Amino acid sequence: MLKKILGLAPKLEDDGSYAPSKVALKLAVPAKSDYKKISYQKYQGPKSKILVICTEQKNMKMKNGKYFSTGNHPVETILPMLHLKEAGFDFDVVTPNGDPVIFEMWAMPNEDKHVLDFYKEYEERFKNPESLVNFIENLTGKESSYAAIFIPGGHGAMLGIPEDKNVGKILHWAHNNNLFTITLCHGPGSLLSTALDGKKFIYSGYQMTVFPDSVDRQTPLIGYLPGHMPWKLCEKLSDLGVSIINKKSDNSTFLDRNLITGASPLAANELGILAANTLLNELNNQ
């Protein structure tokens, strides 16, 4: 009751899950993002597509049994895509089974025209994505059309995707064909899929920026999460040989070989800039 009075109680949704508290939203969800439009020299070559793998799951069961209302974070999804679009790239949106993309709509920056306009423009693609299963069935030759795979963050990226063998297949495909992989915040959980079925984890020895476990441990205090996380992302990555270089949920990004990562929603704009410039530099020099 005291938490409810103070605005620290997570908000109960109609399906029994919990969205962040009033205080958490005020602290963590600004009305506008820090997106800054940049004029890129647009890419005009054959590898103009980016495969965007999103979650189709909404509710994360926490250690205490409560469900967190999650999905893909809209800023973490849209800001990188805005920069990549400005750089001349287009997107194929997929979810594991072809169900609609789930967004953390409570995190939508409702006064940000750039984000809202992009969401409206691509809403049909998000509502009617292709299934990753179908995409993989016709994979041969696609490497000539794609520059990168992008896996947005949001806690929803930890639902199903790290255990999805098809995600592992597509990441191995990208790695073997020198495509870039772009991800941020909790999105690097998807990389765990490359070690399924006893396969070698292809990112062992890589440096990354990832949302810190230490911050996930703290956020239940302000009602951002309704309980503690079911598992620790950074711990799992570290156990597989990843070096996580950030300590805070900040705007840090990092490029290690063909992997581009960002630490948090605060890194979404910087990640988009880094990804756009990296892809343009690589493809224009081929």
The residue count for the chain: 286
Catalytic residue selected from 149, 185, 191, 233: 185
CB neighbour class for 76 (10 Å; exposed up to 12, middle 13-18, buried from 19): buried
H-helix segments, the chain: 2-6, 22-28, 74-86, 113-127, 132-137, 165-176, 213-218, 233-239, 268-284
Is residue 185 among the annotated active site residues?
Answer: yes
**Structure-block tokens of residue 210:** 């990832």
* Interaxial angle between packed helices 113-127 and 74-86, expressed in degrees from 0 to 180 and rounded to the nearest 10: 100
* Tokens 């990389």, located at residue: 191
Closest CA relative to residue 162, chosen from 182, 133, 138, 186? 186
Backbone angles phi, psi at 11, to 5 degrees: -90, 125
Helices then strands, each counted (H, E), the chain: 9, 13
State the DSSP string of 182-196.
Answer: EEETTGGGGGGGGGG
Q: DSSP letter for 10, please.
A: P
Active site residues: 185
